[in-house]
A and B are shown apart, each in its own frame.
Chain A
């Protein structure tokens, strides 16, 4: 039974809470109109300890969940690169001490762990991520805390952040070379099949714009969520549309379902070949069906003949937990740690602003397994060669087409007149 007395007590308590909230609101920080640059600076007080003989770096990869199959390899190759750098004297004479975190294929977890690595573990830089969604979750956190994030996977471009270095390809280094290759083969009709998330959607928007310029007709466009692998009805539409080529932007295990539906529907690489941007040496054997004869567009292949590639393959084969197969994202992750080493040594400091300044004032290069890459200090991407490989019977790629030189990174496609200037304008600095 309630008495008036008790009701009063409850309302007093609720009143007290209300007062607390009012006080909280009154005593808070910067509002939208204030000078936010000072607020940002106070948040960015770095706690990185550079006094000892070691330097802490963070590795953030999904060790559990759907992306673990791909990201564990990236994590392993980062460990291998750290061991290599430590054996040859470290960065600025300091040994790398790494903190490995699990992104768990969950984008809010990526954001939380980024904050933990920067504010609790006080790492000087973070390496990792795979999906664009994970990068988009990390971006606001590293920007807020003025941290550094090295992202090793090809992506959809149209992004540039002072706190992120991109060592995978942007669109003009992977998607556009693939389209140039298709045009050189005389392809007239193209079908777009992708996973339903940010990378395939954006990549296809760009493909459509460039296809119009090249005179290639897009005869269909289908998406399936990342975690679904039934492609039967979508492949039926491909059969009906009879395209010359299929442009595949499907990511992860959903590819297995796609390839199965492709063969079940009687499609063959001889008549309706696929060009992929996410199937590499690691994924090809996992397709469950013969994928020989299909194509992939990458900047690195295990079969690439460069001076540095044999050593990279050899080190990886000798490394514990190694699959023995090298691939483009792995190689880009390997580059990212060495690139960071060069940046810090050019800056003479682990300080983020000093590193960014060195990126602009110095020419930072690395003799990567894909060849000698150069960092663009303004957009934080690297130059890369474009290659198209055709899958052979050993699940390796025979290189059938290469760009005539290293392609300079152009994330906002500024050198391409077919990309509408008003869209570029809307995207530069846009939120989300």
Chain B
């Protein structure tokens, strides 16, 4: 007995109206009902959610456990932070550099980030090039599974260590902060804070629309096929490496965009926000929400962010245990994440009426053979 699939067009409409509803909630309802503080926090969760949408694409649909998205988050975040630092410093060398080596000039790699255009281009181009080279090298050599995960994680650790130890060039462990302007707008102005939030929320919606299109396209089908049976895809004449590369690059780009928006919203970026723990927390949110679904990664990341701000205040010691416990429970009992709950409930309710086909018994098998 084959189950009838819902018509693709109907599913498309459902997803699109879901995104529209999400957009109305984020862009219209949230600014109207939330206080400045919680709106700013929501903006921060949106940045993690943007990165999470990319992880959903690479891990949920593509089967690549990207444990080092902090690397690409950092590329966007530090590009943005360098530009905002220079915008604030004007023609002076940023204050923190003067502290460590009073007479040295601005490091050469900072100079181009004075330009707003270069910065915006860098936020897009840097992660694409970095993920392109890394992905090409790894996927062509058929590096996958745990090896891929460990490698990406190690990169995040290495980058965080590098930033921590280059205190004069990057602000080190203290990070970059105290930004006064955002592309000519005064960051302290509450109206501009709302604007920055709305940009982050809108970018999240754009990313959701992009992956929705991906999932519906032939590429989306190929990506899932590669995840589930890479060898078969290869035998059909496709190169799985190229398919994975595209998904990996797109996910890196999304992480970079999330990182770039994180900086004006949170007002500070440090190596701790991009290192191993931060990268794993991004993965945790995605797993929690449901890695292969459209909304799961974004909602999961936002839920983890909310938990950190609000439960972290109530039980500073207990929050990490709660997160750990939730993570274990979800992985054990709900491997497809919280977003699979409605479908599960629906299945439980349908079961008595629908009577699934009983498994073929040995006796029946004998009958068929005879």
Contact = CB atoms under 8 A, between A and B. Distances in A.
Chain A partners chain B: yes
A64 to B, nearest CB: 5
Interface of B: 8-9, 12, 16, 19-20, 23, 27, 35-38, 40-41, 44, 85, 88-89, 92-102, 161, 164-165, 167-168, 171-181, 184-186, 188-192, 194-195, 198-199, 202, 205-206, 209, 212-213, 216-217, 266-270, 272-273, 309, 312-313, 316-317, 320
A156 B165 CA distance: 19
B88 A431 contact: yes
A423 B98 CA distance: 7
A202 interface: yes
A130 B168 CA distance: 21
- From DSSP, what is the main secondary structure of chain B's interface residues? helix
A205 B99 contact: yes
Interface of A: 1-2, 6, 9-10, 13-14, 17, 20-21, 24-25, 27-32, 34, 36, 39-40, 42-43, 63-64, 101-102, 104, 106-109, 111-113, 115-116, 119-120, 132-133, 136-137, 139-141, 144, 156, 158, 196-198, 201-202, 205, 225-226, 420, 422-423, 426-427, 430-432
A112 B41 contact: yes
Contacts of A13: 16, 19-20, 209
Nearest to A36: B186
A136 B185 contact: no
Given A112-B41, A137-B177, A144-B188, A107 B94 contact: no
Contacts of A40: 188
A140 B181 CA distance: 12
B185 A29 contact: yes
B266 A108 contact: yes
A432 B36 contact: no
B92 A197 contact: no
Contact of B89 (A144, A158, A198, A431): A431
Contact of A14 (B40, B190, B195, B206): B206
B268 A137 contact: yes
B273 A430 contact: no
Contacts of A30: 185-186, 189, 191-192
B206 A158 contact: no
Contacts of B192: 28-30
Contacts of B92: 426, 430-431
A112 B43 CA distance: 12
Nearest to B94: A432
Contacts of A139: 178
Contacts of A31: 184-186
Most chain B Cβ neighbours within 10 Å, of A27, A116, A205, A431:
A431
A196 B178 contact: no
A202 B100 contact: yes
A17 B205 contact: yes
Nearest to A206: B99
Contact of A107 (B41, B212, B217, B268): B268
Given A28-B189, A427-B99, A432-B176, 10 more contacts: A6-B12, A13-B16, A17-B205, A104-B316, A111-B266, A140-B268, A198-B173, A201-B168, A430-B92, A431-B179
Contacts of B184: 31-32
B165 A432 contact: no
B186 A32 contact: yes
Nearest to B181: A32
Nearest to A21: B202
A177 to B, nearest CB: 21
Given A197-B167, A197-B172, A201-B99, A116 B313 contact: yes
B316 A36 contact: no
A10 B15 CA distance: 11
B111 to A, nearest CB: 17
Contact of B189 (A20, A43, A107): A43
Given A21-B202, A28-B191, A30-B185, A426 B93 contact: yes
Contacts of B93: 426
A225 B102 contact: no
Contact of B99 (A24, A63, A115, A202): A202
B198 A225 contact: no
A203 B211 CA distance: 50
A363 to B, nearest CB: 32
A304 B93 CA distance: 43
A432 B313 contact: no
A101 B272 CA distance: 19
Given A115-B37, A431-B89, A28 B174 contact: no
B270 A108 contact: yes
A32 B267 contact: no
Given A39-B186, A115-B37, A431 B167 contact: no
15 contacts: A13-B20, A28-B192, A28-B195, A101-B313, A102-B313, A107-B268, A108-B267, A111-B266, A112-B266, A196-B167, A197-B172, A201-B172, A427-B95, A431-B88, A432-B171
